[in-house]
Amino acid sequence: MTAQPKSGWQTVEMVNHDLDNAALDPELRGLDDFFIRSYYGRDIDGLNSFFAADFAYVDGATGREMPRDEYDRTCLNQAPFRNLVHDQVHTKISGDTATVCARNRCERQINGQWVAVESRYADVYRRIDGKWRCIFATVYKVAK
């Protein structure tokens, strides 16, 4: 599964992976990369292809569950970025449920200036009809 950014949008290059973590499940690692590429590539169709019907996103800054249409708008209208580094990835599988946690670092263009941003996220997957589907995600910025 490879996310294709929409025409005119930046291609997402994964700069760094924490591949020393032997516990990484290859299928979950692939889904995690796909999620990151789809989100940063503003590919709503890609995201929809592996979100469960009951997918929920909780904003890490406010603790508020974001309605799906608002999540999609946030994805499409995000600030430009560069130098994405995705690392410290950890996965855990327990039966038909799995978690993926990691760190993202990049530079975002805010008010015309490039600003370093670091965030962490946690995604929860459930195996539905033999395929992993993302049922929950949260992202929160790391204080400097």
The pLDDT tens digits for 120-138 are 999 999 999 999 999 999 9
- Give first-to-last CA distance, the chain, whole Å: 34
Count of domains for the chain: 1
Residue 10's pLDDT is what? 40
CA of residue 45 relative to chain centroid, distance: 14
Residue span of the structural domain in which 60 resides: 26-141
**pTM for this model (two decimals):** 0.80
Give the rounded percent of residues in the chain with a pLDDT score beyond 90.
Answer: 43
Residue 26's pLDDT is what? 79
Q: Does the pLDDT at position 119 exceed 80?
A: yes
**42 in Cβ contact with 111 (< 8 Å):** no
**14 in Cβ contact with 35 (< 8 Å):** no
The pLDDT tens digits for 65-98 are 999 899 999 889 888 888 888 888 888 889 999 9
Q: Residue 83 is part of a domain; what is its CATH number?
A: 3.10.450.50
Residue 115 located in a structural domain:
yes
